[in-house]
Every structure is written in structure tokens, then in C-alpha cells.
Structure 1
């Protein structure tokens, strides 16, 4: 974002907009797999990817933290209508802890790569790095801890999410590229 477009009211509005987007993506019906240890397939990680790519690392993380604060207060904004403090000790707790960190990594990787390669490829790589590698690094141990699975078992369970997360990374990169084209926002 350029310095001219980063006034406090517009920054707050963008953060609120992306927090709402992540919440809205929770309305997309989740897919529960019986062997996934209570971790659903959701669209909300697409929101994390978009926040990191479009808002950048810190504003993107702020949007995620606003969303998580509202969830912690009890709003049923997670996929499947879940909310409240209990979600932070359930099977998805590790993923939730990783949400803001993943968003920061997505934004940082985007910044590092966007000037060196085509925006679409930079967006995909940033989204895969933060939205999969980093998020899984938190989610797999969290799932293992809460469910009593071994790390290997938890990783095998989470592997089912890989194709969908790759698709979300491609969608996020495409949307990011098109938003930047439409708004002429500096990378």
C-alpha cells in the first residue's frame, strides 16, 4: 500500500473489512471428515491468505486478531457456527493459534517475492508458505496434543487438506493480482 492510502480511518476500515471477510467465509458450509479428528475443511484460510496478500503482514494479522477476538467473545463465526473460548482448546486450537502468524508470513513472503516474479506466482508461493507450511506447523502439533494422536498420525490426517489449500492459494493469488490491477496499489 502506498503511504498516501494508509490513513488511519482507511486502515481501520480495511482491517474491519478483512475481519468480516474471514467471518463471512465461515458461512461457507464446512466439510467434516470422520477421520480428520474434528478439524473441518473450511474456506476461512482463504481469508487469511487474502488478508496477508492484500493488507500486508501487519494489517493482515490485525484483521485476523480482530476476527479471533470476536470469536473468543462467543460470536459463532468459525465454520460450523463455532465460537467462544472453547474453540481455543479443541482440535483446531493449533490452527487458530497459527492464523495470525501464517498471515504475517504470507504478507512478508509476498513482499519479498512480488518484485522478483510474476504476481500470480508470488501470491501462490506466499499463500502456500504461510497458509500451508506455517499453518500446518501449528495445526498438526495442536491436533496431536488435543486428540492424543502421534505427530505422524496428525500429519496424515491433515494431508487431506492439501489439495483444497492449494486451490485456495491459487484463488487468493488470482484475487490479489486482480485487486492490485484494479486499484493500481503498489506491491
Structure 2
């Protein structure tokens, strides 16, 4: 009687990055850190600062895609969690998570993932209108949503007041969305396939 081999279920391989991938991840983590050098401006009563670093987060997803872009954001956040003062204003991740801006910081992760996943669907052409829409939804709506939830958990302000605090960020964030879209379109034209690796 012949032995019958039962088919084995395929194992999902862990996420692996090539040396080139890791270099790109490191570069974007450093870019996000560098964008914190100009500092931050705190507006309103919420205590949440306006920072240029959100531009780096949008760019990570729009240029590197979901896998590498999210990895770059996670690397950056991990560095802040071990005490490096890389967030705008010289803050560490632990300091930020203890304050009202915790939700906005956490929101960087799903925002990058969202932008990266949808960006790969519009490549290789990268239509400007679709790029703007994706970056706006990820860079504004997703971050604002998680940030607002964080405000409700960390402060005593009401729902509408928490939602209203986002109004001060909209003009600057729209500029970041436009800049990120223009840069991403140029990068994908020069280096096709960059987000898919």
C-alpha cells in the first residue's frame, strides 16, 4: 500500500526586507526625524502641536508604499519610544503618548498604511487627482479620526470641541498633501516600481 502524502498548508513567510528596502526605510525614518527640526507650534487649547513631520508620514506611504512606508514610520516611532527626542519640539514618544497628541501620533501608522495600499493601486501612472485624494484622506481624515479619539481619551473636552480642534491644522495639512503628491508623482515617474518592493 502506497503512502499517501497529505498536502501541507502553505506557510506564510514573515515580512522580509532586502538591503535596499532597509536602506529606503532608514532614509524615510531619518526624513521624518529631520522634519521635526523646525520645531512645533501649539495652537488653541488642545495642546496638540502643528508639525512638518506629517509631511514625512504622507510621503512614506505615497513613495514607498504600504509595507516599506509603514515600516519607516514604525522605525521612527520605535526610536522615539526608546527616548530619542526626534519628535518636533525635542519630544520623545513616551512624552507625546502621555499628552493630548497621542492619538495623532498613533494615527500615523494607519494613515501610512492606507496611503501606501491605495497608492500602489494607481501606479504606474499615478494620476495627480487620485494621488491628492488618497493623500488627503490618509493624511487628514485618518490622522484626524484617530487623533480626535485620542483627545477624547486624554482630555476633558467634548466631542464637538475635539473635532473642532482639527480646523487649525487643515490649511497646513492641505499644503503638505499637495507637496507630497507632487513629490510622489515625480519619484514614481523617475523610479517606477519603488512602492511595490
Normalising by structure 2, what TM-score? Answer: 0.85
Deviations 1:22-53, CA, capped at 9 Å, x for gaps = 001111231121x1411111111101110001
Once the two structures are TM-superposed, the CA of residue 99 in structure 1 deviates from its matched residue by: 0.9
User: Paired residue for 2:36?
Assistant: 26
Q: Please tell me whether the aligned partners of residues 33 and 76 of structure 2 are also in contact (alpha carbons under 8 angstroms).
A: yes
User: Paired residue for 1:93?
Assistant: 102
Task: Give runs of aligned pairs for residues 169-184 of structure 1, distance below 5 A.
Answer: 169-184=177-192
User: Paired residue for 2:111?
Assistant: 102
Give ranges in structure 1 of 5+ residues lacking alignment.
Answer: 1-5
The one of 142, 147, 150 equivalent to 2:158 is 150
Normalising by structure 1, what TM-score? Answer: 0.89
User: Paired residue for 1:159?
Assistant: 167
User: Paired residue for 1:136?
Assistant: 144
Q: Partners of 2:72 and 2:127 in 1: how far apart?
A: 23
Q: Please tell me whether the aligned partners of residues 124 and 170 of structure 1 are also in contact (alpha carbons under 8 angstroms).
A: yes
Deviations 1:57-92, CA, capped at 9 Å, x for gaps = 111110000000000111111111100423212111
Q: Partners of 2:186 and 2:154 in 1: how far apart?
A: 40
Task: Give runs of aligned pairs for residues 51-130 of structure 1, distance below 5 A.
Answer: 51-114=60-123, 119-130=127-138
Is 1:41 equivalent to 2:50 in the alignment? yes
- How many residues are matched? 180
Q: Partners of 2:154 and 2:79 in 1: how far apart?
A: 23
Q: Partners of 1:17 and 1:84 in 2: how far apart?
A: 19
Once the two structures are TM-superposed, the CA of residue 97 in structure 1 deviates from its matched residue by: 1.2
User: Paired residue for 2:5?
Assistant: none
Once the two structures are TM-superposed, the CA of residue 100 in structure 1 deviates from its matched residue by: 1.0
CA RMSD after TM alignment: 1.8
Q: Please tell me whether the aligned partners of residues 57 and 108 of structure 2 are also in contact (alpha carbons under 8 angstroms).
A: yes
Query: Which of structures 1 and 2 has the bigger CA Rg?
Result: 2
Q: Partners of 2:57 and 2:156 in 1: how far apart?
A: 28
Q: Secondary structure at the match of 1:80?
A: helix
